[in-house]
Structure 1
Amino acid sequence: MITKTMRGLAAAALTVLPLLGASPSQAAEVVSLTDAVQQLPLAAESRAGYQRTSFKHWVDADKDSCSTRAEVLLDESRVPATVEAGCKVVAGEWFSYYDGVTVTAPGGLDIDHMVPLAEAWDSGASQWTAAEREAYANDLGSERSLVAVTAKTNRSKADQDPSTWLPPAADARCTYAADWVATKLRWNLTADQSEVKALTTIAESCGSLAVQYEPVD
């Protein structure tokens, strides 16, 4: 099981912590947030043909009888989580770094795809195989891909990119931008002009913040 960093605390840090769970053959890339934004492949987006069902998610990705949602809840709880039969997580303590809220009942949390499924589709996933989309939707190999946050903030975000939505907690925005860019670079997803412009503006206020990511095979 992957041990995740507490992202809310990381929001104040100048360096994004290393990704965990990648295969030893993968070489980690480390670049400044500003340079990472510039590395995003620029392309227009298209949502033609998108269906959420194109991404099979919340599967038992690592075959340990826990769904991806349960895995994230277990990994991100700041105290040992209470788990019932069938790997049902019923209690714990989670810090939603988007809005700085602590949650103890998992029903108040959504597991957010850092780059939403629809945005991933727009940015290149429409050309992937079903298996690749499933891998993306259940990515436990990177601490940036999936995050437990309050349902309110996740639903406010919906499928928006940083040009139209940012976390309500201002001190979370540098970490959010780094997580977003790391996820896109990890999966070789493109960005459009408004997205790059917004990320560039954020990066200018983030000092020496670095992005570390490991590309998928």
Structure 2
Amino acid sequence: MRDAAEQLKRAVRVERVGWRLAGICLAVAAAGALTGGCQSEGADSSDSAPPSGSPSEGGDPSEGADGSSSPPSPEGLPAPDDARELLDGLTVAEQRSMTGYSRDRFPHWTSEDGCTVRQRVLLRDGEDVVTDDDCQPTSGSWYSAYDGETYTDAGDVDIDHIVPLANAWRSGADEWTDERREAFANDLEGPQLLAVGDRVNQSKGDQSPDQWLPPVEAYGCDYARAWIAVKAAYELNVTEPEQRELGALLDTCGGA
């Protein structure tokens, strides 16, 4: 198990910057909205190096060159203009019933090569992560973009579904097969899974962006782009208030 975990960590480090969003790119292209391509940080990006806020390096990962708050962006997101095109293409509808919903209808944290999806995200999003023979992290650090905190205990870190399972159910996933719900809940290809502090994740619950946003306001643009990308890739609906809030968040992106 340790060998598998070490191989995974090496692969993550090599491919961290090039984290693929194949499903999102396909969704954008299908919508005819790929005007600027999927924005993916390459080797010449400031994201090509690990966040500078791990305890071993010191510094504040949320501090930009000018001292302003600037949380690190996830690797690979639709450009703001493309995200707006995707948002315009989403179906606007009232939320559907929660009848029949259960988290068990979205089987998650499946295992592959000796590591669960949760463990794989912890390895992907963490710094200097060391695991035991069962692929469980025993040390490392995790920067939580939602609250701007760095955590050194994996037990204090949740893996957030950017679009919560219950929100997805109310947005159209109630009609999916359990197999599609399982793919959604374990999606490592798109920006659906993110390691964040457990307390801030619990405060989010299953709320949409018009009801809850990350306390770090500077993260709003990236959060909106990720939310829109996931909903577009899985053809999920948005409500009118949700659509308006996402549009307002995109207005904050500037030249992102």
TM bracket, shorter-chain basis: 0.7 to 0.9
Alignment-derived partner of residue 178 in structure 2: 130
Q: Is the 2:210–2:242 contact (alpha carbons within 8 Å) kept by the matching residues of 1?
A: yes
Q: Which amino acid aligns with 2:82?
A: S
Alignment-derived partner of residue 43 in structure 1: 93
Q: Which amino acid aligns with 1:43?
A: A
Q: Is the 1:32–1:208 contact (alpha carbons within 8 Å) kept by the matching residues of 2?
A: no
User: Across the two proteins, how many residue pairs are aligned to each other?
Assistant: 197
Is 1:18 paired with 2:76? yes
Matches within 5 A, 1:89-104: 89-104=137-152
Q: Aligned pair in 2 of structure 1 residues 30, 64: CA closer, same or farther (>3 Å)? A: farther
The whole-number CA distance in structure 1 between the counterparts of 2:79 and 2:107 is 28
Greater C-alpha Rg: 2
The whole-number CA distance in structure 1 between the counterparts of 2:254 and 2:100 is 39
| SS of aligned partner of 1:111 | strand
The whole-number CA distance in structure 2 between the counterparts of 1:121 and 1:48 is 9
Q: Aligned pair in 2 of structure 1 residues 18, 41: CA closer, same or farther (>3 Å)? A: same
Gaps of 5+ in 2: 1-7, 18-49, 52-60
Gaps of 5+ in 1: 20-27, 210-217
| SS of aligned partner of 2:237 | coil
Q: Is the 1:16–1:178 contact (alpha carbons within 8 Å) kept by the matching residues of 2?
A: no
| Amino-acid identity (%) | 36
The whole-number CA distance in structure 2 between the counterparts of 1:43 and 1:113 is 21
Scaled by the length of structure 2, what TM-score is found? Answer: 0.70
Q: Name the structure where helix makes up a greater proportion of residues.
A: 2
Q: Which has the higher contact order (CA 8 A, sep 6+)?
A: 1
| SS of aligned partner of 2:188 | coil
| SS of aligned partner of 1:90 | strand
Superposition deviation, residue 12 in structure 1: 4.3
Q: Which stretch shows the higher mean deviation, 43-52 or 1-10?
A: 1-10
The whole-number CA distance in structure 2 between the counterparts of 1:49 and 1:4 is 38
Scaled by the length of structure 1, what TM-score is found? Answer: 0.82
Alignment-derived partner of residue 74 in structure 1: 123
Q: Aligned pair in 2 of structure 1 residues 12, 182: CA closer, same or farther (>3 Å)? A: farther
The whole-number CA distance in structure 2 between the counterparts of 1:197 and 1:117 is 21
Superposition deviation, residue 160 in structure 1: 0.2
